[in-house]
Amino acid sequence: MNVERKKYCVNGEWHLSKTDKYMPVTDSSTGEMIAEVPCCTAEEVESAIASAQEAFPAWSKLSLSQRTQMMFKWRNILIEHLEELTLLCAKELGKTLAEARGDVLKAIEPTEHACSLPTLMQGDASLQVTTGFDTATYRMPLGVVAGIVPFNFPAMIPWGWMVPLAIASGNTVVLKASSATPLTAMRILELFYEEGGFPKGVVNLVTCSRKEADIFLTDSRVKAVTFVGTTGVGKQIYSTAAANGKRVQAQCEAKNHALVLEDADLESAASAIINSTYGCAGMRCMALPVIVVQESIADTFVALLKEKAMAMKVGCAYDPETNLGPVVSAEHKTKVCDWIQKGIDEGAELVLDGRNVTVPGFEKGFFVGPTIFDHVKPGMTIGDREIFGPVTLIKRVKNFEEGLALMNENPFANGSVIFTQNGYYAREFEFRTDGGMVGINVGIPVPSAYFPFSGNKDSFFGDLHVLGKDGVRFYTRAKTVTKHWYDETARKKKKEVDTWEGTVERI
Neighbours of 138 (CB within 10 A): 15
Pick from 150, 204, 237: nearest CA to 461: 237
C-alpha to C-alpha distance for 192 and 390, rounded to whole angstroms: 34
Q: Which residues pair with 130 in a beta bridge?
A: 133
Q: What DSSP line would sit under 337-365, residue for residue?
A: HHHHHHHHHHT-EEEE--TT---TT-TTS
Q: How is residue 199 annotated by DSSP?
A: P
Pick from 149, 210, 209, 138: nearest CA to 174: 149
- Which active-site residues does the annotation give? 285
Paired sense of beta strands 4-5 and 33-38, if any? parallel
Q: At what angle do helices 295-310 and 266-278 cross, to 10 degrees?
A: 50
Measured at the CA of 391, the angle between CA 458 and CA 321, to 5 degrees, comes to 120
Measured at the CA of 280, the angle between CA 84 and CA 191, to 5 degrees, comes to 25
For 64, left (φ over 0), alpha (ψ -120 to 50), or beta? alpha
CB 43 within 8 A of CB 25: no
At 247, which amino acid appears? R
Q: What share of the chain is helix, strand, coil (3-state, %, to 5)?
A: 40, 20, 35
Sign of torsion over alpha carbons 159, 164, 165, 170: positive
- What lies within 8 Å, CB to CB, of 494 at 6+ separation is none
Q: What are phi and psi of 362, to 5 degrees?
A: -135, 45
